Amino acid sequence: MIRTDQGHVVRALTIAGSDSGGGAGIQADLKTMHQFQVYGMSVLTSLTAQNTNGVQGIYEVTPEFVRLQLESVYTDLGIDVVKTGMLVNTKIIHTVASFLREIDIEKVVVDPVMVAKGGTPLLRQESVEILKDELLPLAMVITPNVVEAEELCGYSIRDFEDCHRAAIDIAALGPRAVIVKGGHMPPDWIKDAPNLVVDLVYVGGEFTYFASERVDTYKTHGTGCTFSSAITSMLARGASILESVGMAKAFIYEAVKRAKTWDVGAGHGPTDQSAPIPARFEPMSSAFYVFRNGRWNEESR
Ligand SMILES: Nc1ncnc2c1ncn2[C@@H]1O[C@H](COP(=O)(O)OP(=O)(O)OP(=O)(O)O)[C@@H](O)[C@H]1O
Ligand SMILES: Cc1ncc(COP(=O)(O)O)c(N)n1
C-alpha cells in the first residue's frame, strides 16, 4: 500500500451500493482502489441483487445504519478521500452530505449514479434536486455520463458543444472539476475522430479532453465506478485533478480492452480491474490523446 508523506497508509472510502455480480458498485470500487495500492473502505447504502443481465432487486439500507458505518470508519481508520456512488434516496444523500460537512474533507469525488445499464433506476427521481443542493457543493470532482449531465443541468444535450455548456453549468453548482464521460456519446459527436471515446474535463475555467480508442465491446458494466474510483485513488495518492483523470483514463481503457474476451456472465460483462496501472498517462502513445489549445496530441501537463 502507498503511504502519505506523513507515513500513514493512504485510505479511501467509497459510499455506494453493493453489486452482487461484483462488476460495479462497492465491489468495482474496492478492486480498483486495491489495484492502485490504496487502502479501500466501504459504507453501503444499498444491496442490489444484480448480475450482468440486469438488476433483479434493490434493498435500501436505513439512513441511521449508513450514519453508523460512516462513524465506525471515521473514528478508527480515518479517511483521506471519499468517493460516492449509488446513494438511492433523499435521506441517504442528506445523511452523507451532513457527515461530509462535519468532517470537512476536501477530496470528494461524486459519481452521480442514476440508472443501471439495463435501465433500472438506482436513484429516486425526486432525489436529484437534493443531490444538486447538498452534495455538489461538497464535491471536488463530479463524473456524470451524458444522461446524468442532462439530469443535473436540466436540459437535453444534443452534441459535443452542449457537453461544454453542461459542464460549465454543473460546475456552477459547486464542484471544482466536472468530467462529462464519453461512453454514451454517439460516434459522430467527435468530428475529427469518430472512433475515439472522449471524456471532457472542465476545471479552472479550462477544458481538457482525454481520449482513447473506443474498444468495440458490450462488456462495459462498471466502467463508471471503475473510472471514478481510479480518479479517487490517484487524488488520494496526491496527484493533481488532471493527472488523476489521465491515469484513470489509461486504466479504464486497459480494463475494458482486457474484458473484451473474458467469459464472466452472459450479459454486459464487467470490466477487468486487474489491468496494470500505467506508470504515467502517455498522451503521445498510439491509444491515448489529449486535446488542448486547438490540437490533438499535445502534452497533458
Ligand atoms: N468502449 C469503450 N472503450 C474505451 N473506453 C470506454 C468505453 N466505454 C466507456 N469507456 C470509458 O469508461 C469510462 C466510463 O464512461 P461511461 O460513459 O461508460 O460511464 P458510465 O455511463 O457511468 O458507465 P456505465 O455505462 O457502466 O454506467 C470513461 O472514461 C469512458 O471514456
Ligand atoms: C450497485 C451499483 N452501483 C453502480 C452501478 C452503475 O454502474 P457503472 O459503473 O456501470 O456506472 C450499478 N450498476 N450498480
Q: What pLDDT, on the 0 to 100 scale, is given for residue 86? A: 98
Block mean pLDDT (10 aa), the chain, length 301: 88 98 98 97 98 95 98 97 97 98 98 90 91 98 97 95 96 98 88 83 90 90 97 95 91 94 89 86 49 50 33
The answer regarding whether domain 11-296 maps to CATH 3.30.930.10 reads no
292 close to 242: Cβ distance less than 8 angstroms:
no
Q: Report residue 106 as a C-alpha cell.
A: 476536501
Domain ranges of the chain: 11-296
Q: What pLDDT, on the 0 to 100 scale, is given for residue 285? A: 43
Q: Quick one: which ligand is closest to 48's CA?
A: 2
Q: What pLDDT, on the 0 to 100 scale, is given for residue 281? A: 58
Interval between CA 222 and ligand 1 midpoint (Å): 8
Q: With 0-12 CB in 10 A as exposed, 13-18 as middle and 19+ as buried, what is 261?
A: exposed
Cβ(222) – ligand 2 distance below 6 Å? yes
- The DSSP element (H or E) to which 154 belongs, if any, is none
Q: Is the pTM of this model over 0.90?
A: yes
Q: What pLDDT, on the 0 to 100 scale, is given for residue 233? A: 97
Interval between CA 226 and ligand 2 midpoint (Å): 9
Q: What pLDDT, on the 0 to 100 scale, is given for residue 294? A: 54
Long-range Cβ contacts of 178-181 (<8 Å, 24+ apart): 178/141, 178/142, 178/144, 178/202, 178/203, 179/141, 179/142, 179/143, 179/144, 179/231, 179/245, 180/144, 180/145, 180/146, 180/149, 181/143, 181/144, 181/145, 181/146, 181/224, 181/227
Cβ(234) – ligand 2 distance below 6 Å? no
Q: Write out the catalytic residue numbers.
A: 181, 220, 222-225
Among 88, 30, 22, 84, which residue's Cα sits nearest to residue 59?
Answer: 88
Q: What pLDDT, on the 0 to 100 scale, is given for residue 290? A: 58
Q: What pLDDT, on the 0 to 100 scale, is given for residue 289? A: 55
Interval between CA 116 and ligand 2 midpoint (Å): 6
Atom of ligand 2 nearest to the CA of 48: 1
